[in-house]
Amino acid sequence: MIDDAADTGLLQLQSAQICETGGRASNQDALRYAQQGPLACYVVADGAGGHAGGEMASSLASNGLIAAFTADPGFSAKALRYYADTANAQITNAQLVQPALHEMSSTVAALLIDRRQNAAIWAHLGDTRIYLFRQQKIIAMSKDHSMVQQFIDAGYCTPTQARTHPQRNVLFAALGASEDTPPEVIEQSVSLQNGDAFLLCTDGLWEWVLEQEMETELSRAGSAEAWLAGMQAVAARRFAQTRAIRDNTTAFAVWISIPAA
């Protein structure tokens, strides 16, 4: 879809999205998008804590963050941290109201884009990821808050091996979790260039698509939708070679176009 604006002189956003159940009994992923003037906000979340708990947690995470952004739109690390904290508070409040769901939690990845300043800032918690591509190459990506990421940092396994590690789903941080780990927010906004692209995705996508394959599909695609479809095809082919149960798969693909001055 084209995320349009009345002022055609602003940075233009073309985005595509997926939110699929896969082989699971329910979809515990969620995604939301909102635009306020020149500001755009994208959110992807992956819930945990049982069937009902996971669905509620990811819904509260994505809806809560977007609601906070819509009520008080801003563009700064402080603003994005406030939006994520608001979403976290909604989950913890719901845990108190419904004790049976006291273990529910959710990962989150949130992207803010200022279309007037041609800049972006993002936050994440857990293993839902954000990638920034420039000239079809990854120039920035979030680092998971997970046990396997700690193994990678210590040199015990490679990023590729981590995708199939038996403890790859063990997280040490998420919204609603008891651990006192706040969402990780980049402190300085990133200046965007024409042709840049973002991918926000849950592990249901990135576990099955290598970073080099993301870059290859981006170089072949003529639109955000085609890029996302290409990555889905890669994931489907790899999944067909295993006996695993495909997890929920949720993603935003966002393309940046900056009009000539």
**Domain limits, the chain:** 2-257
User: pLDDT per residue over 214-225, tens digit each?
Assistant: 999 999 999 999
Q: What is the pTM of this model?
A: 0.93
Q: Name the CATH superfamily for 2-257.
A: PPM-type phosphatase domain (3.60.40.10)
Give buried/exposed letters for 62-93 (b at 16+ CB in 10 A, else e): bbbbbbbbeeebebebebbbbbbbbbbebbbe
> Span 73-99, mean pLDDT?
95
DSSP per residue, 102-132: TT-EEEEEEEEEETTTTEEEEEEESS-EEEE
Q: Which of these ranges, 18-22, 115-119, 126-130, 207-211, has the smallest mean pLDDT?
A: 18-22
Q: Is the pLDDT of residue 169 over 70?
A: yes
pLDDT score, position 189: 97
7 — pLDDT class (breaks 50, 70, 90): low
Q: Which of these ranges, 1-5, 56-60, 84-88, 130-134, has the smallest mean pLDDT?
A: 1-5
- What mean pLDDT, rounded, does the chain reach? 91
